[in-house]
A and B are shown apart, each in its own frame.
Chain A
Amino acid sequence: MGKVIAKEVSIAIAEAVAQCKVDVISAYPITPQTHIVEHLAELVNNGELDAEYIPVESEHAAMSACIGASATGVRTFTSTSSQGLLLMYENLFIASAFRLPVVMVIANRSISAPISIWNDHSDVMTMRDSGWIQTFAENGQEAVDLVYHAYRVAEKALFPVALNIDGFTLSHVIEPIELLDQELVDKYVPPLRMKYKLDPKKPISMGAIGVPEIYTEAKKAQDKALKASYRIIMNAWKEFEKLTGRRYQPIESYKMEDAEVTLIIMGSLAGTAMDAVDLLRKKGKKVGLIRIRLWRPFPLKDFLRAIGKVRAIGVVDRAVSHGSTGGPVGIEVRSALYQSNKRPKVVNFVAGLSGRDVTVEDFVELFEKTYEAISKKPRFSYEIYGVKE
């Protein structure tokens, strides 16, 4: 096994990408993603990584370059945040519809306005329906492991993968991290061989028009393939466990065995939420925590299994879906439960916008509010938590 070294998470991610022997990196710097691509540029410049680094004029061009490069059958990487992701927007849908295995790390950051460089999930939630495989890491080790996983999955499933890490709270912290031995990486992420690619010796057309007589069929094929990628994602995690002993699942459960109330969260706030679980458990409260690691394709069966027999669920969203009936995760959870025999009460909070601290005390309060939902009908579709009135 590799050595455990204290590293900034962004640097470790860049090193993991380099270990995957990426061929083309194209990115535009934006806080808090910058350290990732800066370090990759350094590795290329120092001759430590044999890759083409394309410094582009915008994120729109960054994603375009990755799509073009990936279409020729080479391994690609990009990274962005916030407005940068929004500038990529139209191309995100093309990458997935073209079934190109582009890998992108998003250091999650709020969207303007008001302008903010701090963390929440409002950027990635705009690409919820883009057809990308989307995962969320909680800590540095997981972020690095999910980089390897992203390449393995993207290239087997033929879908782009967006790996989300919380900006600053994860991207800029120093943690003890183990990078895999190169030998293991080579085994887990073998050289890329794409069956369909732009090759003058075997020409094909990409991007043909989808007339009304074919567009619906194209979308059905894409949707079926994304759902079928679940098996590939699971197998890749099983394979990873065999190689490293580290086990990953689409849904992470904490003290859920006998839980009657749970919160649901994504990303790095889970650590704080687990502390709140421990605190309440000491007081005899049967609480648990669910963290969604795989957001797309949504792991419905794993989710329904994970919630067990809870009586109330509090979904903690990190983004506002303006004018909606809930936050993006809240809507997903309610929708997942509607066809199920399990029908716990669901309350939905929006918390931790733009880097606003959500402390252990806050999570205790969110648990208490969720408890209240058992006995009385929730008043609200969602509550923006922690607002100064």
Chain B
Amino acid sequence: MPKDQGLVSWKELAPGMFILEPGNSVKFKTGDWRTYRPVLDKEKCIKCGMCYAICPDLCYKKDEGGYYIVNLYYCKGCGLCAKHCPKGAITMVLEED
């Protein structure tokens, strides 16, 4: 039924469809239409942070070991990190595999 596609009742929307709760875009999953996902080879990684700097969605975060790890909740699979990694440590892998 089409009505089941609605996220929220029209009566509950603020005027102008304004969002009254600031900063809620962190909840928005942008990583659900990815085709390829980046996979890191820690053997090759030199922890330079190029992937962290280049990622347009700010998906990379440093872990305790100093490696930069992608957050797949947001990663759209653009492949920029893999393209710019100076050591070729990141490979884009088809999601189905």
User: For the complex, is B26 an interface residue (Cβ under 8 Å from A)?
Assistant: no
Q: Are A196 and B6 in contact, CB atoms less than 8 angstroms apart?
A: no
C-alpha gap A210/B11 in the complex (Å): 16
User: For the complex, is A225 an interface residue (Cβ under 8 Å from B)?
Assistant: yes
Q: Are B15 and A203 in contact, CB atoms less than 8 angstroms apart?
A: no
User: For the complex, is B14 an interface residue (Cβ under 8 Å from A)?
Assistant: yes
Q: Are A213 and B15 in contact, CB atoms less than 8 angstroms apart?
A: no
Write the chain A residue with the least CB distance to B5. A213
User: For the complex, is A205 an interface residue (Cβ under 8 Å from B)?
Assistant: yes
Chain A contacts for B1, CB-based, 8 A: none
Q: Are A206 and B18 in contact, CB atoms less than 8 angstroms apart?
A: yes
Interface size of A in residues (CB-CB distance below 8 Å): 23
Q: Nearest Cβ in chain A — how far from B88, in angstroms?
A: 36
Q: Are B20 and A217 in contact, CB atoms less than 8 angstroms apart?
A: no
Write the chain A residue with the least CB distance to B24. A205
Q: Nearest Cβ in chain B — how far from A205, in angstroms?
A: 4
C-alpha gap A210/B17 in the complex (Å): 9
**Could you give, for residues 162-196 of chain A, a 1 whenever the CB lies within 8 Å of some chain B CB and a 0 otherwise?**
00000000000000000000000000000000001
Q: Are A213 and B6 in contact, CB atoms less than 8 angstroms apart?
A: yes
Q: Are A218 and B18 in contact, CB atoms less than 8 angstroms apart?
A: no
User: For the complex, is B13 an interface residue (Cβ under 8 Å from A)?
Assistant: yes
Q: Nearest Cβ in chain A — how far from B6, in angstroms?
A: 5
Chain A contacts for B9, CB-based, 8 A: 217
- Counting residue pairs across A and B whose Cβ atoms lie within 8 Å, the total is 59
Q: Are B10 and A196 in contact, CB atoms less than 8 angstroms apart?
A: no
Write the chain A residue with the least CB distance to B23. A203
Q: Nearest Cβ in chain B — how far from A52, in angstroms?
A: 23
Q: Are A225 and B15 in contact, CB atoms less than 8 angstroms apart?
A: yes
Q: Are A217 and B15 in contact, CB atoms less than 8 angstroms apart?
A: no
Chain B contacts for A99, CB-based, 8 A: 15-16
User: For the complex, is A97 an interface residue (Cβ under 8 Å from B)?
Assistant: yes
From 203 to 221 in chain A, residues with beta carbon under 8 angstroms from any chain B beta carbon are 203-206, 208, 210-214, 216-218, 220-221
C-alpha gap A225/B9 in the complex (Å): 15
**Could you give, for residues 13-44 of chain A, a 1 whenever the CB lies within 8 Å of some chain B CB and a 0 otherwise?**
00000000000000000000000000000000
C-alpha gap A221/B5 in the complex (Å): 16
**Could you give, for residues 71-84 of chain B, a 1 whenever the CB lies within 8 Å of some chain A CB and a 0 otherwise?**
00000000000000
Chain B contacts for A214, CB-based, 8 A: 6-8, 13, 17
Of A203, A211, A221, the residue contacting B13 (CB under 8 A) is: A221
**Could you give, for residues 93-127 of chain A, a 1 whenever the CB lies within 8 Å of some chain B CB and a 0 otherwise?**
00001111000000000000000000000000000
Of B6, B8, B22, the residue contacting A205 (CB under 8 A) is: B22
**Could you give, for residues 1-44 of chain B, a 1 whenever the CB lies within 8 Å of some chain A CB and a 0 otherwise?**
00001111111011111111011000000000000000000000
Of B5, B17, B22, B23, the residue contacting A218 (CB under 8 A) is: B17
Sample 29 A-B pairs with CB under 8 A, ordered by A number: A97-B16, A158-B15, A158-B16, A196-B15, A203-B22, A203-B23, A204-B14, A206-B16, A206-B18, A208-B17, A208-B18, A210-B17, A211-B7, A213-B5, A213-B6, A213-B7, A216-B10, A217-B6, A217-B7, A217-B9, A217-B10, A217-B13, A218-B10, A218-B13, A218-B17, A220-B10, A221-B11, A221-B13, A224-B10
Q: B residues within 8 Å of A by Cβ?
A: 5-11, 13-20, 22-23
